[in-house]
Structure 1
Amino acid sequence: MNKYVVMVSLAALLTACGEKVEQAAAPAEAPKAAVQAQQAAPTAEAAAPAVDKAALAEEAKAAVQALGGTLKGELEAAMKAGGPVDAMGICHTKAPEIAKAVSAEKGMEVSRVSLKNRNPVMGQANEWQTAVLNDFETKKAAGEDPATLAYAEVVDNEFRFMKAIPTAAVCLKCHGTELSPAVSAKLTELYPNDKATGYQEGDLRGAFVVVKNLTQ
């Protein structure tokens, strides 16, 4: 009898210990789930990063200033050295190189476009750029200063920025209504399909464009 009681008691004790072990082990799954949730959280944030459009716009303005300032310096030097014909040579050869260098330095694609492009490959506006340029024209016609016209937007993880380019008096030597025979001949040589003439001072000649892929 005593032996039977001892065996039953021992079995009960082992059963109870087993329940306690199982009950103690069960909560171990919770930290694992928490770790998985913590690991998943940064991934979700990375998929949809916060976009500071104002900061990107400032970066874009700096890129535009770098391109515009460098190109202006090159053109002024060429104008002093050989007049507008030499300046056209700068636009034809050095302008694409300057844009490429600024793009690499700033980490943004920087270029120039126009509704009346001179360069048939690089200067032609795409669909959204054309819409912005037309909007600039509408605002200018309503009395807004072309020098202040700018646009910034984020579309499908792509930051887009445009800054209007007003026609200055010096630009008329190559883009105006009355061109010298030498300039006309050079234009025919370099740009046989040129559309970028007939401007008057203050007209919108095009815009600087800055694009940044936000997923890279």
Structure 2
Amino acid sequence: MSRLSLFPLLLVSTLLTAELLTSEQMVQKGSAVSALLVQKLGGELTTQMQSGGPIATLHFCSQNALALTNQIAQETQTSIKRVSILNRNPVNAATDEEKNLILQWEAMLHKKETLPPYELKKLSNGQSVYYKPIVINKEACLKCHGAIATDSPLGKAIKEAYPDDKATGYKMGDLRGMIAVTF
């Protein structure tokens, strides 16, 4: 059999495997993948913050966060991303559908309602996506995402690394964005 004749078989096999995942399996995998991202990225950022402070952490994040996210996606055979309406990196800008979910969650927080731990949605293209809210729940997060004076050394470093940054001014308990794991 030639390589070309194997391609349709591999494609059908991949599609059938994706179709065979139940909602429960997608939730379990989405939860595990998002937890792995939070653990690895959060661990690296904590180490950077402890050893070099906010500016070193900012530089580490600007140079490594996307690569680390992509590495986890490859290891877990998923598509994973962090998104926000008030993104730091334009690559992490939420789509219209993601913005709607973030705004829904923000409205819930405004009403003092508890956010769901996740949402599983089927998109119009047939893909399923597991969404996990990212809430500011550690003081360390506010060192780079809190009230940062634009003329401070950190403010200048943020502007240099991310000229279109929108990711400051957060407080404890604010919704920062979400993790999206696509199947």
Q: Quick one: which of 17, 22, 28 aligns to 1:58?
A: 28
What is the aligned partner in structure 1 of residue 11 from structure 2? none
Which residue does the alignment assign to 1:28?
none
Deviating beyond 3 angstroms after TM superposition, the runs of 4 or more aligned structure 1 residues are: 48-51
Q: CA deviation at 1:64?
A: 0.4
Task: Indicate the structure (1 or 2) with the bigger Cα radius of gyration.
Answer: 1
How large is the RMSD of aligned CA atoms in angstroms? 2.2
Match of 1:144 among 113, 117, 120: 113
| Distance in structure 2 (CA, Å) of the matches to 1:143 and 1:108 | 33
Trace 1:1-216 onto structure 2 (pairs within 5 A). 49-120=19-90, 122-146=91-115, 148-155=116-123, 156-167=125-136, 168-179=138-149, 181-212=152-183
Deviation at 1:80, TM superposition (A): 1.2
The alpha carbon displacement at 1:50 in A equals 4.8
* Higher-RCO chain (CA-CA 8 Å, sequence separation at least 6): 2
How far off its partner does 1:49 sit?
4.1
Question: 2:99 and 2:24 mapped to 1: Cα distance?
Answer: 23
Quick check: 2:106–2:175 contact (8 Å CA) kept in 1?
yes
Shift of 1:169: 1.6
Deviations 1:56-110 (A, max 9, x none): 1110111101111000111111111110101111211111111101101111111
The alignment of Structure 1 onto Structure 2 pairs a total of residues equal to: 167
Instruction: Please tell me whether the aligned partners of residues 53 and 154 of structure 1 are also in contact (alpha carbons under 8 angstroms).
Output: no
Q: Structure 2 length normalisation: TM-score?
A: 0.84
3-state SS of the aligned residue for 2:75?
A: helix
Gaps of 5+ in 1: 1-45
CA contact (8 A) 1:151 1:163 kept: yes
Deviation of 1:185 (Å) = 1.2
SS at match of 1:96: helix
Question: Secondary structure in 1 aligned to 2:168?
Answer: coil
Stretches of structure 2 lacking an aligned partner (at least 5 in a row): 1-15
* 2:148 and 2:155 in contact (8 A); partners too: no
Distance 2:19 2:59 in 1: 43
With structure 1 as the length reference, what TM-score do the two structures score?
Answer: 0.71
More helix by share: 1
Question: What displacement does 1:51 show?
Answer: 4.7
Q: Cα offset for 1:157?
A: 2.4
**Does the CA-based 8 Å contact 2:69-2:81 persist in structure 1?**
yes
Give the drift of 1:174: 0.8
Partners of 1:209 and 1:128 lie apart in 2 by 12
Partner of 2:3: none
